[in-house]
Structure 1
């Protein structure tokens, strides 16, 4: 009996957990630093070009026809083009797994594990991530279906109970520093949302093809994951105070309460963050290795990478340096990689059709020349 394949709903949950951590947590302090109060308008405007990007992703997904993205690109662009894609993808996803791993360990130590060595925190996180990556995409998708519902419930809870602290007047005025912050904010919004193209890596594992409306709905959910906590941080703390917070989405939990007597509910955010972090790390590790179609030594590679990530925490980066890396390197690299992916995939479509036409013409010519 063949194992049950994940549905698109489970794949969407996997993407919401993985991309949600980036767009719900990592990107918000970046947007506040580069765009300030104008950042919420950057989100609104960015939702227009990301619709076009999503349409292109759907167009490419229709061309795969059961193949993995790496197989399809290798068939259409040749071995050299396929090798370039695999190499760039591996480097990109390994850095995604590392920076997510590092920021999660840093957050855990600074938030609730003050006395614990970062190396020990990293070992536990690496063990969970490596174990899940070893179990494969199917396990990742099914685990996401279990983890996400509580993440969503907690998210709506904190948004609702904090309504009493929200001052909508803090969203205005706009353009205090001209239009440059707005455009910078648009770039960083796009840098996070382009990760919807992850569906191209997950598609071959699904039980059936997805529809355009499903992908567009997922895209709008991703936009909401950024817009909600971003506007919440501005309305609750003000744009200037929120700009200097390391984790504005986490700070929103510090003012939330449950009834009259339970005033500390930020432990719910620990579940939210760790669910997203271990999913994002595991998924990135898995794609970085599986893109090469490695099967025999796959688990060994996962374990080696987990050990290397943990060892790097013995001498951690300065947090200020890491914040600067988010702005100057990590999110720009995000945008560049997925732009590269879309460009070569669009190039592969006509090249593949031309190759198919030539093969058909050659076969016809051979048939005519045969006696």
Structure 2
């Protein structure tokens, strides 16, 4: 019998897997664009994200417990269904590639400066592959095990650095101008649409998701961007925070335990590794589900290929300046457009009748005549 999961179990996985992207990806680029008003950009992005979440709920309600591939096949046919699923698979592949790259670079900068980057990246994707290979059950249980420790550490660093923070750094409000604030809001929106993965996962749940659960997930994810963003601004100031590669994790360097223990930033790598491992494993699992392969052997092959693609920027030793420029200039705007476009397409599809019902109704009308 296929294992099905509860809503709380799914929430544990979402918070661990997706919050790491909000810490690592969004905040450096958000502060670089919106500066002192980065936290205002997050608040500006939240109302549109609530609307986006409501439309996502309507789509999930239409799907029920039917797998995405099967639901799309019944609505728009196999060809259009395959095109849409492959588009989502490419999106998840890109997300996985970015997290593997950032995780490898973070580990090399802070703790393994003499270890070749390819070794770090290959070791990491190998662990992620084996987690994905054993299925969603392993990823969810791993998230349930790791999330409490990651959450406690997050609160610990926040409380421990209060004396090092100056909240006057958040003023004056709207000092960067409305255009900068809007660019920051687009970054937050584009980085928060990963909840699209729910359309692939809902059929694995015991009960379909309700709007309250989805809204809670989005609210918590936005909150997990807001907290570290405010912490980075008040600890370092907008100028320094905007120049740091990993400002959320740099706060660990401010933590000291008593008079003799001051280097506890290794705990930041535990946080990042926990989120990155489960997130990369989840991306590999989602890709294997979306490409439409039923054979277990070929599914494993698809995961291996995807894992190697995710590790490729580290293996090719791409310039970090070039990668960050591409992400900042293109990724978030593209992700913003992609998230709206895919949701619009899925919403239109959800309003369409089943193709079989259309044929049966047409035949019944002809027979009546």
TM-score range, shorter chain: over 0.9
**In 2 relative to 1, CA 194–161 (structure 1 residues): closer, same or farther, beyond 3 Å?**
same
Match for residue 116 of structure 1? Answer: 115
**TM-score calculated relative to the size of structure 2:** 0.94
Matches within 5 A, 1:177-192: 177-192=176-191
Distance in 2 between residues matched to 1:167 and 1:130, nearest whole Å: 43
Match for residue 126 of structure 1? Answer: 125
Matches within 5 A, 1:74-113: 74-113=73-112
Match for residue 70 of structure 2? Answer: 71
Relative to structure 2, which stretch is displaced further, 23-32 or 290-299? 290-299
Q: CA deviation at 1:364?
A: 3.9
Match for residue 148 of structure 1? Answer: 147
* C-alpha distance after superposition, 1:39-90 (max 9, x if no partner): 1101112111111111111111111122122321222122232122022122
Q: CA deviation at 1:161?
A: 0.9
Match for residue 240 of structure 1? Answer: 239
Q: CA deviation at 1:368?
A: 4.7
The alignment yields a C-alpha RMSD, in angstroms, of 1.8
Query: Is the CA contact (8 Å cut-off) linking 2:287 and 2:303 kept in structure 1?
Result: no
* C-alpha distance after superposition, 1:149-183 (max 9, x if no partner): 11111111111111111111110012334211111
1:32 equivalent to 2:31? Answer yes
Distance in 1 between residues matched to 2:10 and 2:326, nearest whole Å: 30
Distance in 2 between residues matched to 1:314 and 1:358, nearest whole Å: 51
Distance in 1 between residues matched to 2:257 and 2:199, nearest whole Å: 41
**In 2 relative to 1, CA 14–263 (structure 1 residues): closer, same or farther, beyond 3 Å?**
same
Match for residue 162 of structure 1? Answer: 161
Distance in 1 between residues matched to 2:314 and 2:60, nearest whole Å: 38
Match for residue 322 of structure 2? Answer: 321
1:291 equivalent to 2:290? Answer yes
**TM-score calculated relative to the size of structure 1:** 0.93
Distance in 2 between residues matched to 1:39 and 1:264, nearest whole Å: 29
Query: Is the CA contact (8 Å cut-off) linking 2:96 and 2:283 kept in structure 1?
Result: yes
Relative to structure 2, which stretch is displaced further, 360-369 or 52-61? 360-369
Relative to structure 2, which stretch is displaced further, 81-90 or 110-119? 81-90
Aligned-partner SS, 2:192: helix
Aligned-partner SS, 2:352: helix
Q: CA deviation at 1:3?
A: 4.8
- Return 5+ residue gaps in structure 2 as ranges: none
Match for residue 347 of structure 2? Answer: 346
List 4+ stretches of structure 1 deviating above 6 A: none
Match for residue 18 of structure 2? Answer: 19
Query: Is the CA contact (8 Å cut-off) linking 1:11 and 1:202 kept in structure 2?
Result: no
Aligned-partner SS, 2:108: helix
